[in-house]
Structure 1
């Protein structure tokens, strides 16, 4: 079955208050940790998808695609989101979150959640790469990349080669309670 996870994703993105700037300060520490978790997950996916290929689909370390990658098309090049969901997402983003990077990430996530369960089942031990990014948006909207850093106003994450993220420890939890505790510790 295809696209069963895509509608809940679009519903979720559509409920984000992209204008709530206070959240970007309040949740800066957790958002930076979520980005580190995304980078770790992305590195794990790249490592897995490049195993045994003579021409890696993502190129080397500083690929033009890094760090935000359309993993769905690497798993199944024929994946296509439901046109109505894609249109709904486009309309929402155009009105509330028009930054090009935000749109790119949300579309890659839509592609991901449009994959069939069969396509995903080939990688049972790999984590959902996009969940940390969606949580970042929910906890304070977008971010920007500047001078080799992913910037969250008061917190920054160095943008390095994907291989440097491969052996990082996973974030203990993506639960709201745990993420709130990270913010309280700051």
Structure 2
């Protein structure tokens, strides 16, 4: 885990539009996957910290370095900022992210016995940047998407979402692009290309107000483009078959394709 300065994390938080719901709806799919990744990582850290009862929204530094306090100027800026954030859970997470960065930059949370775990706050910071926060009820409400809690154990066992890669934002943007309403994903399979390593992926999404749908393939241009695959397959003109896959699996394919083509066009925060 590379460390960043607490001022950098504070700057990212200040740029979040907490009260603007439009980005939250536009980025609903990627925000849901990022929240699930936060919950997975939080479960791993909760076990290390002995913070199972506080999962999934807690301050890691409070457990690993309970006596630590950031530099006075950082602490003052942090408290001035979080007073403007609406819920105790959001305030706790924002404090935790900044305090974690401060403690990491000073080498205060790296005892030899600490296992190498992924950064506990990067997924939720990315989620904030893509449409603000959340509220806690029976589910986690991302303002357009509801996420069930599951259990700490089930989240700890979940597969990770994306590897640390410069292509992270490209993948998230591809998931969200024109993805209003229910979207179904498919993998193109054939000999040598099973469902977990397909030839390509497709999606079917609704368009307009009626029952019309649009079929698209994720292409080497790193975008979704219209495809005639399903029509040709139904007519028997295509030997390549397909199976339905999850959004998570679609994201993994997009990431692999983006990395393989070396096509990240802009710097991004890694996970």
If the TM-score is normalised by the length of the shorter chain, which range does it land in? 0.7 to 0.9
Name the structure with the higher strand share. Answer: 2
DSSP-derived class of the 2:109 partner = helix
- The aligned residue for residue 114 of structure 1 is 102
Matched, 1:138 2:129: yes
Compare CA radii of gyration and give the structure with the larger one: 2
Name the structure with the higher helix share. Answer: 1
Equivalent pair of 2:28/2:176 in contact (CA under 8 Å): yes
DSSP-derived class of the 2:46 partner = helix
Structure 1 stretches lacking a partner, 5+ long: 51-56
Partners of 2:4 and 2:132 in 1: how far apart? 25
- The aligned residue for residue 53 of structure 1 is none
Q: Which sits farther off after the overlay, 131-140 or 174-183? A: 174-183
TM-score scaled by length of structure 2: 0.57
TM-score scaled by length of structure 1: 0.81
- The aligned residue for residue 81 of structure 2 is 92
Partners of 1:10 and 1:18 in 2: how far apart? 14
Pairs within 5 Å for 1:2-81: 5-47=5-47, 49=48, 57-59=50-52, 63=53, 65-81=54-70
Instruction: Answer 1 or 2: higher relative contact order, Cα 8 Å, separation at least 6.
Output: 1
- Aligned alpha-carbon RMSD (Å): 2.2
CA-CA distance at 1:78 after TM superposition: 1.7
DSSP-derived class of the 1:119 partner = coil
CA-CA distance at 1:180 after TM superposition: 1.2
- The aligned residue for residue 149 of structure 2 is 159
Query: How far does the alpha carbon of each residue in 1:80-134 deviate from its partner, in whole angstroms, 9 at most, with x for none?
Result: 1222222223323334x33332211101112211113352364462111011111
Q: How many aligned positions are there? A: 171
Query: How far does the alpha carbon of each residue in 1:120-158 deviate from its partner, in whole angstroms, 9 at most, with x for none?
Result: 3644621110111111111111111111x1111221111
Partners of 1:4 and 1:154 in 2: how far apart? 31
